[in-house]
């Protein structure tokens, strides 16, 4: 009884929250001081006395929602995180309610089956060979496959660990070799360098791939870097490329980089956390051209695929490389057993793991692959239209033409003005942008993730920025 009535009350609040965000009656983000918020939410009182249900729950939810960053607001342009489809949010509720971890088949058969299906579905979008289901006949050719992780950072780490186990198969017995080097563009996400650090590589083991003025890798220059690695007495663990980069949303030339890596037998990892969803689109798939040459690919569903966080796929062209990534004895889990399903536990850093596949699948199941592709097309198109609009204004400057749904620009004036504009926009409550440094200059950054944002919003943004900068 209390579940249904509490759930009903929470859902009513959420529904109203979404419409008040969509129609802009509430600010896109409101930041009141943390101490005040903790008091307003009565955290201390509830922690002692309990009772967070019924009318008090409704009150709590209202206060909570009032201090959120409203992703459903059309002026939400700041960050890459998905504006979730409600099907994915309901799936998160279902996953939480049933709480079936996916790692061991018997702990969550439905969740594990959906994860297996989702991974194979994504693998087919890459153009790789999906894995047979347990019990199906196998042959000696490599199959592609993977695992879902709690986020792209963990997927990047997982991919690099698999790369290490391939180049140093005895790593789990003897420890990490000291002669490994990682090659990545300066524009790679910080989780790449962090993964390298976690694996015992130092700053001096990270080699930057040369890039153009927008941070896009120049493939012809990779051989130079490889030679430097060799001269330093090191072995390349992997080459990492962006599909696409975090700051500007640009794609590295994946086919050329992939060919080179394949020729040298070097592990090729594509960080497609943000941009791999271009693979769903007939019109933008070309941006990921050459993806099939990768050994591993990171692909977030909680960025461009309308899925609530977190849900990432770590995909491998030869899933055998992932199966050997964590060679560790845990016989209580890994004992050979006859079972109808599949255990994912040997493929992940995590032990207990949420039903991540259910979140993404519910969105896919609601929209269908064409619906999801149409969403990607729409958001990528919108970035291009915004580029035309802003690039055509004499008092604005774009960092460059967009390739994905990210556009960086600045209003004429100093770096400090850009930050002041951002702060004022947030204070007014109509627009939420992020800011980045590109070539030592400050830019404002828009990520078009909201399917309700239209070009008219960008026109209004321009007007509002003009008003602020003339103050
Ligand atoms: C967002 C992002 C990541 C990190 O993914 P999380 O899911 O936030 O951990 C990694 N790489 C790129 C290119 C990204 O844009």
Residues 175-231 have pLDDT tens digits of 999 999 999 999 999 999 999 999 999 999 999 999 999 999 999 999 999 999 999
**Among 191, 215, 242, 276, which is best to mutate for testing ligand 1, by the most ligand atoms less than 8 A from CB?**
191
Burial 414-430 (b: 16+ CB within 10 A, else e): eeebbeebbebbbeebb
Q: Tell me the CA–centroid distance for residue 372 and ligand 1, in Å.
A: 20
Average pLDDT along the chain? 95
β-sheet bridge partners, residue 298: 271, 314
Answer yes or no: is 72 within a domain: no
Residue 139: give the domain boundaries.
96-363
**Residue 110 CA from chain centroid, whole number:** 24
The yes-or-no verdict on residue 361 having pLDDT over 70 is yes
Task: State the pTM of this model.
Answer: 0.97
pLDDT band at 135 (very low <50, low <70, confident <90, very high): confident
Check which CATH number belongs to the domain holding 436 and give it.
Answer: 3.90.1150.10
Q: Tell me the CA–centroid distance for residue 273 and ligand 1, in Å.
A: 5
Tokens 């894995």 belong to which residue?
131
The total number of structural domains that make up the chain: 3
Do 301 and 221 share a domain, yes or no?
Answer: yes
Do 324 and 394 share a domain, yes or no?
Answer: no
Q: How many CB atoms lie under 10 A from the CB of residue 51? A: 11
Q: Tell me the CA–centroid distance for residue 274 and ligand 1, in Å.
A: 6
The protein residue with its alpha carbon nearest to ligand 1, atom 2, reads: 273
Do 358 and 393 share a domain, yes or no?
Answer: no
Do 268 and 347 share a domain, yes or no?
Answer: yes
Cα-flanking dihedrals φ and ψ of residue 441, to 5°? -125, 145
Answer yes or no: is 83 within a domain: no
Confidence (pLDDT) at 138? 87
Answer yes or no: is 137 within a domain: yes
Confidence (pLDDT) at 290? 98
Answer yes or no: is 399 within a domain: yes
Check which CATH number belongs to the domain holding 238 and give it.
Answer: 3.40.640.10
Confidence (pLDDT) at 234? 98
Distances (CA, A) of 198 to 160, 181, 229, 316: 11, 14, 20, 21
The protein residue with its alpha carbon nearest to ligand 1, atom 5, reads: 152
Tokens 């980045």 belong to which residue?
436
User: CA–CA separation, 389 vs 462, rounded Å?
Assistant: 9
Write the pLDDT tens digit of every residue in 286-334.
Answer: 999 999 999 999 999 999 999 999 999 999 999 999 999 998 665 555 5
């Amino acid at each position: 009884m209390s579940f249904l009535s509490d759930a009903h009350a929470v859902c009513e609040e959420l529904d109203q929250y979404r419409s008040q965000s969509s129609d802009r009656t509430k600010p896109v983000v409101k930041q009141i001081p943390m101490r005040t918020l903790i008091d307003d939410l009565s955290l201390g009182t509830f922690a002692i006395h309990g009772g967070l249900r019924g009318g008090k729950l409704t009150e709590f939810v209202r206060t909570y929602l009032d201090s959120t960053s409203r992703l459903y607001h059309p002026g939400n342009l700041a960050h890459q995180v998905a504006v979730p489809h409600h099907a994915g949010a309901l799936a998160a509720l279902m996953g939480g309610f049933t709480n079936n971890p996916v790692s061991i088949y018997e702990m969550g058969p439905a969740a594990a089956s959906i994860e297996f299906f989702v991974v194979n579905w994504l693998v087919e979008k890459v153009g790789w060979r999906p894995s047979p289901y347990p019990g199906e006949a196998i042959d000696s050719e490599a199959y592609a496959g993977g695992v879902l992780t709690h986020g792209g950072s963990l997927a990047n780490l997982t991919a690099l660990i698999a790369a290490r186990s391939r180049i140093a198969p005895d790593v789990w017995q003897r420890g990490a070799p000291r002669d490994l080097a990682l090659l990545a563009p300066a524009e790679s996400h910080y989780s790449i360098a962090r993964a390298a650090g976690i694996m015992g590589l130092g700053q001096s083991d990270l080699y930057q791939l040369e890039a153009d003025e927008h941070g896009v890798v120049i493939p012809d220059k990779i051989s130079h870097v490889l030679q430097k690695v060799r001269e330093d007495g090191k072995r390349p663990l992997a080459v990492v490329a962006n599909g696409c980069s975090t700051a500007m949303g640009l794609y590295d030339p994946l086919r050329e980089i992939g060919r080179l890596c394949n020729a040298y037998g070097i592990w090729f990892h594509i960080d497609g956390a943000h941009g791999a969803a271009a693979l769903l689109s007939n019109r933008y798939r070309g941006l990921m051209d050459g993806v099939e040459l990768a050994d591993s690919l990171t692909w977030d569903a909680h960025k461009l695929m309308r899925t609530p966080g977190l849900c990432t796929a770590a995909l491998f062209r030869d899933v055998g490389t992932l199966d050997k990534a964590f060679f560790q004895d845990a016989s209580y889990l890994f004992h050979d057993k006859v079972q109808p399903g599949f255990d994912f536990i040997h493929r992940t850093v995590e032990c207990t793991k949420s039903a991540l596949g259910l979140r993404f699948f519910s969105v896919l199941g609601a929209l269908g692959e064409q619906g999801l592709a149409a969403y990607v097309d729409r958001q990528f198109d919108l970035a291009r239209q915004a580029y035309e609009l802003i690039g055509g204004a004499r008092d604005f400057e774009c960092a460059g033409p967009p390739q994905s749904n990210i556009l960086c620009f600045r209003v004429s004036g100093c770096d400090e003005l850009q930050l002041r504009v951002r702060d004022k926009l947030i204070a007014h409550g109509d627009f939420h942008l992020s800011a980045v440094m590109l070539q030592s200059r400050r830019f404002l950054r828009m990520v078009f993730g909201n399917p309700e944002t239209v070009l008219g919003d960008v026109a209004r943004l321009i007007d509002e920025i003009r008003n602020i900068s003339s103050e």
